[in-house]
Every structure is written in C-alpha cells, then in structure tokens.
Amino acid sequence: MQVLNLPTYTPILSPQGDKIYDPIRKRNIVLTPEEWVRQHIINYLVAHLGYPAGRMAIEKELNYNQLKRRFDILVYDAHLKPYLIVECKAPNVAITQVTFNQIAMYNKVVNAHILVVSNGIKHYCSTFNQQKNCYEFINQIPAYTT
C-alpha cells in the first residue's frame, strides 16, 4: 500500500495481506486503498491526537432525504454528541468540491462540530460557523479535549 502523509504505524494484516484489522470494529476488513487511509486516520486520531477509540463509529448508515449513506468515521464528545466527522478517499482520488459537498450533506444529519476530508495525502479540516452560516477551514485537526 501507498505511503501516506500521516504518521506511520504497524497495522495488523492478514497472512495473505488482503485484510486489515480494524480496532474500532474489532474485526478484519478487506484492505482497499480507502480502508488503508481510514485505518491510518483512526490511528492518527487515537494515538496522536487523543481521541477516545470508544467514542468512534466507523462506516455507519445514515439517512438523508430518504437516501441511505455511510459516513467513514464519526467521533462523539463526552456528552455523546457528534464532534468530528471524517470522509476518507483513496490516495489516488482527488479531493474536490464534490467531496466537500458529500461530507456537508452527512453533517446536515449528524451535526458534528469538526469536518475532515482526507485521501491520506491531503487533509482538509473545517468547522461550521453558525453566525456566518458557512464552513471555515482550520490549519489542522485539533487534539481531542474533554
């Protein structure tokens, strides 16, 4: 798999190398380029930024205008309210306005405070400014605070 612009870690791979262990879902997942990015982001959030693994939901279904969709990562705060949502793409997938629209649509349902989009190479982070009714980019994913 491709080297990413994230801290390296040693994931648990199946002997055939076709699956990766997801510590949040506690099972092996088919190793796709997008899953490679997702697992690196999970590791970064937990091991480097202090996000609690026990407050993460991975690939859960949500409904938007009668359409079923799945977000990649959602982290809840200490009050179990959505805090951070992440949309992961494979490293060869460009981050475009369509990607931002996708996560903004998900966020209309979950109402997280922080939105992150990443293909493992480029990462974008934003918050929603309710007073201005728009998303504002921030320089990095903030460390988790209780």
pLDDT given for residue 146 in this prediction: 58
**Distant-in-sequence, close-in-space partners of 79: CB < 8 Å, separation ≥ 6:** none
CA distances (Å), 109 to each of 50, 64, 74, 119, in order? 25, 7, 12, 23
Residue range 95-139, pLDDT digits in tens = 999 999 889 889 989 999 999 999 999 999 999 888 888 889 999
State the pTM of this model: 0.92
The answer regarding whether domain 19-138 maps to CATH 3.90.1570.30 reads yes
Residue range 9-61, pLDDT digits in tens = 899 999 998 999 999 999 999 999 999 999 999 999 999 999 999 999 999 88
Judged against a pLDDT cut of 70, whether residue 6 lies above it is answered with yes
Domain boundaries, the chain: 19-138
Contact 4, 62 (CB under 8 A): no
In angstroms, rounded to a whole number, what is the distance separating the alpha carbons of residues 101 and 99? 5
Contact 121, 103 (CB under 8 A): no
pLDDT given for residue 67 in this prediction: 82
